[in-house]
Structure 1
Amino acid sequence: MAEKASTKKRAPEERDAEGPRDVPHALIKLIEDEGLQVGDRLPPELELVRRLGFGRSTIRETLKTWESMGVVSRNKGAGTRLIGEMSRNTLRVALTIKHEAESLIRMQQVRRPLEIEAVRLATRLATPDQRRVINARAAELIAVYEAGEDWRPADHRFHKAIHAATGNPLFEQIIDQILKCFHDIYETPFGKPHLGQDSIPLHRPLADALIAGDEDRAVEFTERIIDMVCAETLQIAENCND
């Protein structure tokens, strides 16, 4: 006999694992289902936690994003009120993209110093064998990119080779944990699976500088790569708001 499907409501921490992009959808659906209009007050945060099943900090982060967009106003005494028109189609897309952009930028802000320090250490400490691996990974990445194929797995292997060359396994572990927290957004941000594609050619000179022991130049290319991804993220968010 087939088992009966479970109807048990998931705990907030389980729902949060679905990714930050799910929260705006859930909130917009609640607003639409309740028929809330400009001037109406949203349920308190604790009630939103209970009804939607997401953690309070996750919901609060989304509401802060909406406040910065002029969609809601937040006041301790008056609660959270709608101050902007809610459109089922256009605003749903705008809110989701804005939220994803801010989440991705925050992730890159945390990742940046880790990647830079990893490159510094790898440039100083990599063994000849590790430098050969980094060179091979860079060649693989560029070949896949130029062939027009999905370069993300090769990019991951390239950066893992750099992390391994630091001699400190925590770099790979911590960066992987950061990426897992934003897995959905990082894998297909804005529904665009190849965000940061224009930065891929810079990985070749990054590898060359690291292999040559040129620490400053290796760091320079690392910073340029991260800056390009962040700039593209911001441009997509700005275009959505136009």
Structure 2
Amino acid sequence: MEKQIPPASTGSGRSAQADDAAGHLRPLESRTRDMDVLDALADMIAKAGLKVGDRLPSELVLAQRLAVGRSTIREALKSWQSLGLVTKRTGSGSYLAADVSPGSFHIPLTIKLEGESLLRTHQVRRALEVAVTREAACNATDAQRAEIRARYEHLMAVFHSGEHWYAADHAFHRAIYDASSNPLFGEVIQQVQSAFHRIYTEPFGTTAIGAASLALHGALCDAICDGDAERAVEQINIILDETEKDVRRILATGVLDAGRPK
């Protein structure tokens, strides 16, 4: 059962707590912004001991403390809101909506947040991927099967060359979405992925997440091109399982030991 967020309080207690939390912030020396802001906010939450339902400092206070623009703070909070980490209440501010305390984890809090966020989006993506894969196997035209095959071969060529392969992987899956005969599948999946764009650009600062699953993409390609829906669904679930294992391994150990396709 999900934790219930307590009603907002208009008393001075919450304001004082938020002000105290802001005291843990220092101006950012780096101007890369984006993840620096999220790292600083995660560190503040941990040091201040904020819990679910606690109010965060105002955007103005956060911006002043970190020496960045309010728009930078607003975008950072918006990305957390899309992931269910914070909730925004009109006229009241932003409140913590998920427990992000380090607890017994012996890994950086930001990695814990990335992992849990990726698992949330992965859960939603799985339901969509299974549906779109089944439809593609049933409805793909000969031209679309040829495109899926070409995208798969390009993906493997890019990977084995040592280049960044995420874009080629997205193109392969996009060809599958297009073959489903329902363009909304691809649009919805991309929206799910873009909820936390950095994770899908380079999860945990590495391109190793999901690398072990690439060896399984050939079987997925074959199943769809053969028009075998059940086998295709089985393969996409196995691929997603492998990616999920990588993320859970990091959350458990802080170390990624992802294999490479042979």
1:60 pairs with 2:96? yes
Distance 1:135 1:22, change over 3 A: same
2:46 touches 2:100 (CA, 8 Å); kept in 1?
no
State the Cα deviation string for residues 95-123 of structure 1 (Å, max 9, x = none). 11111110000010000010111000000
1:142 touches 1:204 (CA, 8 Å); kept in 2?
no
**Paired residue total:** 194
Distance 1:134 1:65, change over 3 A: same
Give the aligned CA root-mean-square deviation in angstroms: 2.7
Using the alignment, how far apart are the partners of 1:41 and 1:176 within structure 2? 32
Q: How many Å apart are 1:48 and its aligned residue?
A: 2.5
Q: How many Å apart are 1:27 and its aligned residue?
A: 4.2
1:70 pairs with 2:103? yes
State the Cα deviation string for residues 9-57 of structure 1 (Å, max 9, x = none). xxxxxxxxx57x854522424776xxx6xxx778x83342444353642
Residue 135 of structure 2, aligned match among 121, 128, 141: 121
Provide structure 1 residue ranges, at least 5 long, that are not aligned to the other structure.
1-17, 72-89
Q: Which of the pair has the greater relative contact order for Cα pairs under 8 Å at 6+ separation?
A: 1
Using the alignment, how far apart are the partners of 1:164 and 1:236 within structure 2? 33
State the Cα deviation string for residues 157-203 of structure 1 (Å, max 9, x = none). 10000000011111111111111111012212111133111111111
1:25 touches 1:96 (CA, 8 Å); kept in 2?
no
Residue 131 of structure 1, aligned match among 142, 145, 154: 145
Distance 1:31 1:201, change over 3 A: closer
Paired residue type of 2:43: I
Distance 1:46 1:214, change over 3 A: same
Residue 187 of structure 2, aligned match among 173, 195, 210: 173
2:26 is matched with which residue?
none
Identity fraction in percent: 36
1:163 pairs with 2:199? no
Paired residue type of 1:212: D
1:164 touches 1:172 (CA, 8 Å); kept in 2?
yes
TM-score normalized by the length of structure 2: 0.66
Using the alignment, how far apart are the partners of 2:56 and 2:116 within structure 1? 25
1:48 pairs with 2:62? no
Distance 1:218 1:30, change over 3 A: closer
Provide structure 2 residue ranges, at least 5 long, that are not aligned to the other structure.
1-33, 63-72, 88-93, 256-262
Using the alignment, how far apart are the partners of 1:219 and 1:183 within structure 2? 26
Using the alignment, how far apart are the partners of 1:109 and 1:154 within structure 2? 22
SS of the residue corresponding to residue 46 of structure 1 reads coil
TM-score normalized by the length of structure 1: 0.71
Distance 1:218 1:141, change over 3 A: same
Residue 25 of structure 1, aligned match among 30, 37, 40: 40
Q: How many Å apart are 1:240 and its aligned residue?
A: 2.6
2:55 touches 2:95 (CA, 8 Å); kept in 1?
no
